[in-house]
Amino acid sequence: MKKILAFVLVLLMLAACALAEDVKPVMTHAEYIAADLETEVTVETYVQDKQGWWNDQAIIYCQSEDGAYFLYNMPISKEDYDLLVPGTKIRVNGYKSAWAGEVEIVDATFEILEGEAYIAEPVDVTYALGTTYLVAHQNELVALKGMTVKDYGDGNPFAYKDPVGKTDDIYIKFEKDGAEYEFLVEYYLRGNETEVYKAVEALQIGDVVDIEGFLYWYNGANLHITGVAK
């Protein structure tokens, strides 16, 4: 009987060790940033917004107190997608990747964790426009203040990617301190019936506005606008 018990204990210990090996250490945001591209990463973070669901995958904007993450085309069922409301804490395991300067997590899996919800407040990064420091806020919810609407072309303050159906992004250019920036309302994040989409359509060249959004990157800052205020 003692031999059987000892054998069972050994099996339990081996199983526990195997499980321990499967648990990946959770990174801080600084460790995530320092990790090499195409390496496996594990982070704990909070859902901030979602960019649509299709073909059992979705794009998720996440942020913690120490930084933000962009989950690109994460495999997810519609039922689980509906559970990921803003503030939900999740553990994510995937691979760090980059495209056109945008650092993201791909081939991700996730687990919903218990804990208090966290919703990030936009950080004013106007001072960092045009500097190398801006990228330190990549994927965060940020604010840019005192932005002047520019002529996008032919006397128009903005341009539709799909001018007929309005079922795609809307682009707009801003000027700040002599420099020009082009940002957009991402249609799958904020469609043409949303308040921010309509607010952009109402802008005129020369309007000075404060804007908010997620600091996406596409060969430079490419803010995904979620709010506009004159």
- Interval 67-78: pLDDT, tens: 999 999 999 999
Architecture of the 24-112 domain: Beta Barrel (2.40)
Residue 162 and residue 226: Cα distance in Å, rounded?
19
The reply to whether 123-229 shares the fold of 24-112 is yes
pTM of the model: 0.90
Cα torsion angle, 199, 205, 209, 213, sign: positive
The CATH class for the domain spanning 123-229 reads: mainly beta
Element (H, E) at 21: helix 2-22
pLDDT value, residue 24:
86
Answer whether residue 137 shows pLDDT above 60.
Answer: yes
Nearest to 120 by CA among 213, 42, 18: 213
- pLDDT band per the 50, 70, 90 thresholds, residue 7: very low
